[in-house]
């Protein structure tokens, strides 16, 4: 059974086609610059490599048509006919309190997602657009929604209720929801495997660090607190988002600059964070390079981001009381050795001890690595996330009628013998160039 997963952003459409029977990725890629001009697709098919093609995509429907065309292309495609696709899984950023788990999308569910659009105005509308386009192009297969917020529905009220007029929560759903849940679910389950423990015996601090950044406190295998809030704006420093700041600043700047609320919201979401500090960069690799060359703003951005991460690690340690492992994931978390080291520097008294050499070696998306010292009471793992696999497994289970909320469901990647074929193949090639990487690869206890 071939399952297609779609992650529809405001100006992009990411996809993956997965062969469930063979447990391997057949194709994956992304269409960039949808709706903004200069659109192009980067497409990979197993055994055929990666190609890039330019194609104007003024909307997501045309972007999806391009993806389906590439998937069936005789030269670079992965399947002979679209009939091979038996289901589609969609990433849905915000499920509000309505959805605590993945669901098959029917008209009523789509109506609910539209009603929730106000809670995630930058994310849910493009997600919904992607669903509508896919249902039109592939009308004869089931479509499923996998919510980023679902993982966090286990948070207790004292963690998700804001100290605001309670009526705002009752009337408008103003509360902490949290995001990156699909990523957190994957790395939490994998961390339990690497610790050799039942996932519901694990206390973890998870750090998803990409362009978007959030932290997650996990007690006994479930989410009990997270840094993002009503929207993905709250919390840690991000590529273009401000994260935590005095809410009065928005009103102050509106008055000083004569800006409308929507303009300030755009500034906080798209012109702040790393970009706001440096006024140039969002990619942390560019920031590190500039810092090495003496750029003081770049250095400041690194210090601010890592300091905020450290504060969240400390606060979640206090909230949990006991921590089995600290986990870094997503693009920067998986490859950003500088940010990782600075984020945990000085936490040795808490039993968090990073090995500098192991940390420097860990710059791969093809293996799970252990970067803590042997005497570290808290293990420090770098676990490449796999949101697409979670989406695929949820979709398959929904079709089979076997799907349940994660506390009563076992994923394939929870097995100690689980292997990702694509990553294993890529790792074998990577080890030829960097054999020393083998020494830091994490494995379940024997």
Q: Which runs of E-coded beta strand occur in 34-84?
A: 40-45, 49-54
Residue-level pLDDT at 118: 74
Tens digit of each residue's pLDDT (9 = 90 or more) over 389-400:
999 999 999 999
Measured at the alpha carbon of residue 107, what is the angle toward residues 137 and 129, in degrees to the nearest 5? 50
Domain boundary (130, 147, 164) is at 147
pLDDT top residue among 59 and 367: 367
Residue 372: inside a domain, yes or no? Answer: yes
Mean pLDDT is lowest, of 91-105, 319-333, 386-400, 420-434, for 91-105
Q: Tell me, yes or no, whether 117 and 250 share the same domain.
A: no
Q: What is the CATH number of the domain that holds 64?
A: 3.30.420.40
Maximum CA extent, the chain: 63
Tens digit of each residue's pLDDT (9 = 90 or more) over 274-329:
999 999 988 899 999 999 999 999 999 999 999 999 999 999 999 999 999 999 99
DSSP 237: -
**Strands 49-54 and 40-45, sheet pairing:** antiparallel
| Catalytic option among 19, 148, 386, 394 | 148
Residue-level pLDDT at 281: 86
Beta bridge partners of 18: 3, 25
Tens digit of each residue's pLDDT (9 = 90 or more) over 35-53:
878 899 999 999 898 999 9
pLDDT top residue among 405 and 216: 216
Residue-level pLDDT at 286: 93
Residue 352: inside a domain, yes or no? Answer: yes
Residue 26: inside a domain, yes or no? Answer: yes
Residue-level pLDDT at 208: 97
Q: How far apart are CA 336 and CA 209, in angstroms?
A: 9
Mean pLDDT value across the chain: 93
Residue-level pLDDT at 115: 82
pLDDT above 70 covers a percentage of the chain that reads 100
User: Structural domain tally of the chain?
Assistant: 2
Q: Tell me, yes or no, whether 22 and 112 share the same domain.
A: yes
Q: Which structural domain range is residue 38 located in? A: 2-147
Tens digit of each residue's pLDDT (9 = 90 or more) over 239-282:
999 999 999 999 999 999 999 999 999 999 989 999 999 999 88
Average pLDDT in the 215-236 region? 96
Residue whose tokens read 């509106």: 254
Q: How far apart are CA 233 and CA 244, in angstroms?
A: 8
> Known catalytic residue: 417?
no
Tens digit of each residue's pLDDT (9 = 90 or more) over 2-26:
999 998 877 788 999 999 999 999 9
From residue 224, alpha-carbon distances to 82, 146, 157, 178, 203 in Å are: 41, 20, 10, 10, 10
Dihedral angle at the C-alpha atoms of 83, 86, 87, 88, nearest 10 degrees? -40
């Amino acid at each position: 059974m071939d399952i297609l997963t779609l992650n529809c952003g405001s100006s992009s459409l990411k996809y993956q086609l997965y062969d469930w029977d063979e447990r391997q990725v057949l194709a994956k890629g992304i269409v960039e610059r949808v709706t903004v001009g200069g659109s192009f697709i980067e497409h990979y098919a197993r055994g055929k490599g990666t190609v890039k093609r330019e194609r104007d995509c003024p909307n997501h429907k045309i972007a999806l048509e391009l993806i389906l065309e590439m998937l069936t292309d005789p030269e670079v495609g992965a399947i002979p006919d679209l009939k091979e696709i038996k289901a589609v899984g969609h990433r849905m950023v915000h499920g509000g309190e309505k959805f605590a788990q993945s669901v098959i999308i029917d008209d009523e569910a789509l109506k609910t997602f539209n009603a929730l659009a106000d809670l995630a105005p930058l994310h849910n509308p493009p997600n919904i657009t992607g669903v509508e386009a896919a249902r039109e192009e592939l009308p004869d297969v089931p479509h499923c929604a996998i919510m980023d917020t679902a993982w966090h529905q286990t948070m207790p009220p004292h963690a998700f209720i804001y100290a605001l007029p309670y009526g705002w929560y009752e009337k408008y759903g103003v509360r902490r929801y949290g995001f990156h849940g699909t990523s957190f679910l994957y790395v939490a389950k994998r961390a339990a495997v690497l610790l050799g423990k039942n996932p519901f015996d694990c206390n973890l601090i998870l750090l998803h660090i990409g362009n978007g950044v959030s932290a997650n406190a996990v007690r006994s295998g479930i989410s009990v607190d997270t840094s993002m809030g009503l929207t993905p704006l709250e919390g840690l420093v991000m590529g273009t988002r401000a994260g935590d700041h005095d809410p009065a600043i928005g009103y102050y700047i509106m008055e000083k600059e004569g800006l409308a609320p929507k303009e300030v919201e755009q500034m906080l979401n798209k012109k702040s964070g790393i970009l706001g500090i440096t006024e140039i960069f969002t990619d942390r690799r560019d920031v590190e390079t500039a810092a090495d060359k003496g750029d003081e703003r770049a250095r400041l951005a690194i210090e601010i981001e890592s300091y905020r991460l450290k504060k969240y690690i400390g606060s979640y340690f206090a909230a949990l009381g006991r921590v089995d492992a600290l986990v870094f994931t997503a693009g920067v978390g998986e490859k950003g050795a500088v940010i990782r080291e600075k984020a945990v520097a000085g936490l040795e008294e808490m039993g968090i001890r990073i090995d500098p050499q192991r940390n420097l070696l860990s710059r791969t998306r093809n293996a799970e690595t252990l970067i803590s010292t042997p005497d570290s009471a808290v293990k420090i793992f770098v676990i490449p996330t796999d949101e697409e696999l979670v989406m695929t497994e949820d979709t398959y289970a929904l079709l089979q009628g076997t799907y349940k909320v994660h506390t009563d469901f076992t994923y394939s990647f929870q097995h100690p013998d689980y292997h990702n074929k694509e990553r294993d193949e890529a790792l074998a090639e990577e080890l030829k160039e960097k054999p020393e990487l083998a020494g830091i690869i994490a494995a379940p206890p024997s």
